[in-house]
Amino acid sequence: SLDPHYDASVEQSYMEQIYKTIKSMGHGAFGVVYKAQHKFDNKLYAIKKIKNPLRTLTYDQKYDEMINYEKIGYHTNILKYYMAWEENDEVHLVLELSQMDLSDYMLHKNTRKLPESFLWDLLYDMCKAIQHLNSKSMVHHDIKETNIVLHGNCFKLVDFGNILELPPEEESETEGATAKRARPGSYSHKRDMYNLGGTLQKMMVFRECYNPQWMRETESADRPSPEDILNLQEMEEVERRWISGERQVYTTINIENIQGCWAETQEKENSSDTLNLPSCSNSGL
């Protein structure tokens, strides 16, 4: 629902009435992502504006991501969606603000070696996210470095505009079909695991790995499910560190984006417990 402070009778846009300190964070073919502070609760948000300058977007192109977020629901490892509004034929999504995506992190890190724990945590969190999508019969379809963000001491999957939905009766028997109804045989949950594997490989060797022949040979090959990975013996220690709150914040870059401790989980837990941020416990960074 719209913010109660919004007044439709005035000329100012909804964005101008409700938000301040609006700053562009990035743009692409879809539109623009802004960082903005709510005027009345003082919280920071990411606002994704889906542009439609020539009024040429189809209904699906305009509303798919909003509808997909609502279908997916809450999960710790999926960027949180709050609400959306449409103004001047442009849809705006209000989302949880994170620090940066994996691609930007690698640029800031400026090293050829990542801690092993970082890679295990990344694998664990993304398998949890994919597992959640599986439970909704959904395929992300575009898992890559720019669609995984750092959020304190965890990783979150973002960008659900191209998500695919598998009909339940075909889930275990075919390679696909989708909410956009791609042809049977095109996609399955395995595609997300394949893309996650490629992303992890890039993280480990710190360079682009692209081998067309290898990709053709392995794209249709059998690969582990999220459950297979999460049940590995090595994952026991990874899970223990997460549950016990022993994970550390991966970087303090853009930490101000999330250290306000304002986000609550679906269970109404304070974000200081979830993020394990020193600043949330009145300690210095």
Nearest Cα neighbor of 41 from 91, 82, 77 is 82
Q: State residue 165's pLDDT score.
A: 86
What is the CATH architecture assignment of 100-169+178-254?
Answer: Orthogonal Bundle (1.10)
Residues ≥6 apart with Cβ < 8 Å to 134: 189, 225, 226
CB 85 within 8 A of CB 14: yes
Residue 280 has pLDDT above 80, yes or no: no
Record the tokens describing residue 254, joined without a space.
């853009």
- Averaged over 165-181, what is the pLDDT? 51
The rounded mean pLDDT for the chain is 80
Tell me, what amino acid is at 123? Answer: L
Q: What is the pLDDT of residues 238-278, one digit of tens each?
A: 999 999 999 999 999 999 899 764 344 334 443 334 344 33
Q: State residue 260's pLDDT score.
A: 61
Rounded to two decimals, the pTM is 0.81
CB 127 within 8 A of CB 120: no
> What are 3-10's contacts with CB under 8 Å, separation 24+?
3/40, 5/39, 5/40
Torsions phi, psi for 82 (to 5 deg): -105, -55
Which value, to the nearest 10 degrees, does the dihedral of the CA atoms of residues 129, 132, 136, 139 take?
30
* ∠ Cα 82 108 158 (to 5°): 25
| CATH assignment, 14-96 | 3.30.200.20
Nearest Cα neighbor of 46 from 78, 29, 22, 68 is 22
Q: Return d(Cα 147, Cα 101) in angstroms, integer.
A: 7
Nearest Cα neighbor of 15 from 32, 39, 42, 31 is 39
Tell me, what amino acid is at 183? Answer: R
Q: State residue 221's pLDDT score.
A: 60
Q: State residue 12's pLDDT score.
A: 94
Q: Return d(Cα 207, Cα 110) in angstroms, integer.
A: 12
Most confident among 100-104, 124-128, 169-173, 200-204 (mean pLDDT): 124-128
Q: Return d(Cα 149, Cα 93) in angstroms, integer.
A: 17
First to last CA, the chain: 36
CB 247 within 8 A of CB 277: no
Least confident of 22-26, 241-245, 247-251, 279-283: 279-283
Are both 14-96 and 100-169+178-254 of the same fold? no
Q: What is the pLDDT of residues 107-119, one digit of tens each?
A: 887 766 788 899 9
Of 182 and 189, which is predicted with more confidence? 189
For the beta carbon of residue 222, count every other beta carbon within 10 angstroms: 7
CB 272 within 8 A of CB 281: yes
Q: What is the pLDDT of residues 32-78, one digit of tens each?
A: 999 999 999 999 999 999 877 556 667 767 788 999 999 999 999 99
Q: State residue 170's pLDDT score.
A: 46
Residue 216 has pLDDT above 60, yes or no: no
SS3 229: helix
Q: State residue 232's pLDDT score.
A: 93
Q: State residue 166's pLDDT score.
A: 83
Nearest Cα neighbor of 57 from 161, 178, 187, 159 is 161
- Domain ranges within the chain, ordered by starting residue: 14-96, 100-169+178-254
